[in-house]
Amino acid sequence: MDMDNSGGLTPEQTERVVAIAMDLAREGRTEQLVEFVAHGLPVDVRDPAGNTLLMLAAYHGHADSVRTLVRHGADPDLRNDRDQSPIAGALFKGADDVVTVLLEAGADLDSGTPTARAAAAMFGRDHLLAG
């Protein structure tokens, strides 16, 4: 779970906190998500599949959550256990506004499988990466 300082929580409690935060990221509940980070949840914490909060927010099309997580130090290039990057996930899902936020954050277009460039080509979204 990548939580070095769990504040005295048991492993089960820590797992539950991470699961709740991941749900908040999926749902785009930015304010609640930021509260977790403000209270010590590492911004780049991962779920059992290696997804970060930013990955889940990006995949589910929540540009405001992605923007806020980046502002709080989230790494836009952390890939999950399947070697997928947040920007490739956003391209796959057609979340154009999320792609824009990740480009502004300096997301690597050549990392992951498929790369963002390959995903853009596959899904007819090359225009989003032109710039």
Mean pLDDT of 43-69: 97
Position 7 scores a pLDDT of 62
Q: In the block, which residue shows the tokens 């929580």? A: 9
Range of the domain at 131: 82-131
Q: Taken in order 36, 37, 39, 40, is the CA torsion positive or negative? A: positive
Residues 66 and 12 in one domain: yes
35: nearest Cα among 7, 75, 68: 68
Residue 54's domain is classified under what CATH number? 1.25.40.20
Establish whether the linkage from the previous residue to 76 is cis, with ω within 30° of 0: no
Identify the pLDDT of residue 1: 47
Tens-place pLDDT, residues 57-105: 999 999 999 999 999 999 999 999 999 999 999 999 999 999 999 999 9
pLDDT above 80 (res 5):
no
Of 43, 72, 101, which residue sits at a domain end?
A: 72
Tokens of 67: 């923007």
Residue at 94: amino acid letter: G
13 and 59 fall within a common domain: yes
User: HSE (CB half, 13 Å, CA atoms) of 102?
Assistant: 31
